[in-house]
Amino acid sequence: MADQRQITVAGITLTVLIERKAVKNINARLRDTTLHISAPQSINDTALDRAIIELAHRLIRRVHKRQINNEEDALALVRQVAARFPNPPVIRHATFTLTKARWGSYSVATGTVRLNAALLRMPRWVLEAVAAHEIAHAIHPNHSPAFWRLLRSVCPDTDRAQAFLAAVAWMAHSWDDLLPVERALLAQMHDKIDDE
Ligand SMILES: [Zn+2]
């Protein structure tokens, strides 16, 4: 019978199913958030636990790599958006990151735009609006009226994108508190308020 437990690796909780088998090596397969492990009978629990954590890290890294375009793609996107500015600022580096609890950031010191990797799952205009916001910080390192004027002139979707992201954050924070029936109803919603 399979032994089952939960582990948390890189902020992601996984269910681990362990099967002792007549195999030579420890094998791991990740399906959604379930990690299937087959292990030889001979290996002791401590060694197996250590191996599972290492394998989980490796598999999650691989999934992240697949989801996140590499630095070159991020830079290409950011430079494409920067070209819409009247005096395009020079962006030296751009990257998608999973770590920061923000949608984006700009470092004046290194000329780096960081974009939250979750944006890759959202409509393109939302991703581009966050990129434009961070690029605008290369010109105005604040949220002054001049910053918003410039940003809205190069990105007319600015306010719409902010509302979209506020809704995403609200949903992410509220999801666990919603009743299953409420979640089911929300999953069927479309983006029009009514049919008019
Ligand atoms: Zn800002």
Is the pLDDT at 195 greater than 80, yes or no? no
Higher pLDDT, 135 or 31: 135
What confidence tens digit (pLDDT) does each residue in 63-114 have?
A: 766 655 556 688 999 999 999 999 999 999 998 887 668 999 999 999 999 9
Q: Report pLDDT digits (tens) over 117-155.
A: 889 889 999 999 999 999 999 999 999 999 999 999 999
Per the model's pLDDT, the better-predicted residue between 61 and 168 turns out to be 168
Tell me the mean pLDDT in the region 155-171.
95
Distance 114 CA to ligand 1 centre (A): 12
SS3 of the chain: CCEEEEEEECCEEEEEEEEEECCCCCEEEEECCEEEEEEECCCCHHHHHHHHHHHHHHHHHHHHHHHCCCHHHHHHHHHHHHCCCCCCCCCCEEEEECCCCCCEEEECCCCEEEEEHHHHHCCHHHHHHHHHHHHHCCCCCCCCHHHHHHHHHHCCCHHHHHHHHHHHHHHHHHHHHCCHHHHHHHHCCCCCCCCC
How far, in Å, from the CA of 132 to the mean position of ligand 1? 10
Question: With 90 as the cut, is the pLDDT of residue 62 above it?
Answer: no
Distance 177 CA to ligand 1 centre (A): 30
What is the whole-number distance in angstroms between the Cα of residue 133 and the centre of ligand 1?
6
- pTM for the complete prediction? 0.66
Are 21 and 66 a contacting pair, CB within 8 Å?
no
Structural domains for the chain: 3-67 (no CATH), 71-187 (3.30.2010.10)
